[in-house]
């Protein structure tokens, strides 16, 4: 039995905000942003688009892709939605505060009446955590077969556009995969699916990446005048140092635990936070930078959506083939970090 990614999908808002566009509103310029982050543009949701809307579009895209699979060709999108056993949504920018979960909204609109639904919050590592949670749920129960794992964010709603240190970094989008339990082997010759996952956290760095206002720790008070809406605050240097260490450690340990060399890995798909972080990690490990797949130039940092968006882009562009060994690696608020080793 293997837990495999059977299909991928993604969705981004149509509005594309380039660095040049942003420089008309913020004291910055294209050259500075590119040289410090590798970002050239980001996609921004309109006022009527919430997290569930992008997640729903990505979900429909992944189920439509699944219909091309041999065992699903006779089904409609509505019929395959009914075969889902669970929907796991990783997000830090849910439609509503606390409840209901955004995953439940997606479950209803998708018509996945037989599926459970849950949101998880693990920052930019959320999709990595979601994959492992889904794999565990599929492995624990023999009757479960398919789980939809989504990463979706509307980060533009939680940015202080007057803070040029953070507003240049983030974009909106969603990515999803259909995870399925198959009859292929998970060990030995011809093994497939998720081979190993490492999940870690360092809560001592919780203040390094935080939205302070609005929770039970720092609630809004009746009659309070809100001068600045809740927004992301970041200690950039601390996050950078943590991220480089996290990436190098996860890659090293995943390879060691499976007795693999980096030459056997087709792609490393990192969280798309900053191209300089990836470059520094690659240099420390002696790995060619072209081993890492980056699309940060187009989408910026979409948090939990960045890895599934990148996986879908690889897949749609023919750069990902069945049997390829790939690695995901990410880090984010919490602080959290982790990675998955997968035979696609």
CATH number, domain 193-343, options 3.30.470.30, 3.90.180.10, 1.20.1440.130, 3.40.47.10: 3.40.47.10
Bond into 289 cis (ω within 30): no
Superfamily of domain 2-182 in the CATH hierarchy? Thiolase/Chalcone synthase (3.40.47.10)
Give 131's pLDDT tier (boundaries 50, 70, 90): very high
SS (H, E, C) 302-313: CHHHHHHHHHHH
Residues composing the chain: 344
- For residues 41 and 272, the answer to whether their CB atoms sit within 8 Å is no
Give 133's pLDDT tier (boundaries 50, 70, 90): very high
Q: Which of 1-5, 100-104, 115-119, 213-217 has the lowest mean pLDDT?
A: 213-217
- For residues 179 and 4, the answer to whether their CB atoms sit within 8 Å is yes
DSSP state of 256: H
Residues labelled catalytic: 124, 271, 301
Give 215's pLDDT tier (boundaries 50, 70, 90): confident
The dihedral formed by the CA atoms of 197, 106, 10 and 274, expressed in degrees to the nearest 10: -60
Per-residue pLDDT of 219-270, as tens digits, reads 777 777 676 778 888 998 999 999 999 999 999 999 999 999 999 999 999 9
Strand 146-154 and strand 86-90: the pairing is parallel
CA end-to-end distance (rounded Å), the chain: 14
The dihedral formed by the CA atoms of 235, 237, 242 and 245, expressed in degrees to the nearest 10: 170
Per-residue pLDDT of 6-44, as tens digits, reads 999 999 999 999 999 999 988 889 999 999 999 999 999
- Do 2-182 and 193-343 come out as alike in CATH topology? yes
Per-residue pLDDT of 266-300, as tens digits, reads 999 999 999 999 999 999 999 999 999 999 999 99
SS (H, E, C) 190-226: CCCEEEEEEEEECHHHHHHEECCCCCCCCCCCCCCCC
φ and ψ at 51, to 5 degrees? -55, -45
Cα angle 106-110-116, degrees, rounded to a multiple of 5: 60
Which pLDDT value is given to residue 218? 78
Helix (H, G, I), strand (E, B) or coil at 69: coil
Which pLDDT value is given to residue 230? 84
Among residues 2, 1, 13, the alpha carbon closest in space to that of 54 is found at 13
The structural domains of the chain, with segments of one domain joined by +, span 2-182, 193-343
Give 189's pLDDT tier (boundaries 50, 70, 90): low
Q: Say whether pLDDT at 313 is over 70.
A: yes
Q: What is the average pLDDT across 156-169? A: 91
Give the H or E element holding residue 149: strand 146-154
Q: What is the average pLDDT across 300-317? A: 97
DSSP state of 289: G
Catalogue the long-range contacts made by 216-223 (C-beta closer than 8 Å, 24 or more residues apart).
Answer: none
- For residues 151 and 126, the answer to whether their CB atoms sit within 8 Å is yes
d(CA 27, CA 131): 39
pTM above 0.85, yes or no: yes
CB atoms within 10 A of CB 222: 4
């Amino acid at each position: 039995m293997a837990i495999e990614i059977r299909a991928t999908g993604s969705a981004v808002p149509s509005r594309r905000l380039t660095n040049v566009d942003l420089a008309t509103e913020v004291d910055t310029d294209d050259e500075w942003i590119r040289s410090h982050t590798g970002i050239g543009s980001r996609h921004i949701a309109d006022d009527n688009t919430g997290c569930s809307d992008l997640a729903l579009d990505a979900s429909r895209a992944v189920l439509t892709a699944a219909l091309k699979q041999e065992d699903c060709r006779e089904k409609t999108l509505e019929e395959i939605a009914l075969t889902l056993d669970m929907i796991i949504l990783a997000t830090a920018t849910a439609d509503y505060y606390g409840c209901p979960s955004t995953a439940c909204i997606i479950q209803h609109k998708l018509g996945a009446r037989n599926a459970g639904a849950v949101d998880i919050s693990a920052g930019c590592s959320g999709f990595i955590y979601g994959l492992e949670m889904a794999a565990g749920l599929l492995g624990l129960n023999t009757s479960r077969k398919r789980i939809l794992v989504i990463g979706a964010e509307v980060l533009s709603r939680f940015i202080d556009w007057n803070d040029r240190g953070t507003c240049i970094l983030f974009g909106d989008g969603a990515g999803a995969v259909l995870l399925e339990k198959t009859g292929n082997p998970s060990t030995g010759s011809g093994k497939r699916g998720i081979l190993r996952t490492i999940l870690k956290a360092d809560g001592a760095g919780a203040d390094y990446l935080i939205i302070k206002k609005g929770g039970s720790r720092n609630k809004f008070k009746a009659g309070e005048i809100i001068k600045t809406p809740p927004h992301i605050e970041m200690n950039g240097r601390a996050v950078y140092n943590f991220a480089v260490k996290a990436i190098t450690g996860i890659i090293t340990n995943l390879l060691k635990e499976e007795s693999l060399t980096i030459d056997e890995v087709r792609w490393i798909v990192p969280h798309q936070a900053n191209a300089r972080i990836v470059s520094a990690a690659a240099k420390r490990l002696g790995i060619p930078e072209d081993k890492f797949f980056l699309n940060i130039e187009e989408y910026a940092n979409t948090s939990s959506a960045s890895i599934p968006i990148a996986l879908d882009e690889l897949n749609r562009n023919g750069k990902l083939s069945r049997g390829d060994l790939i690695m995901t690696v990410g880090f984010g608020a919490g602080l959290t970090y982790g990675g998955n080793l997968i035979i696609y």
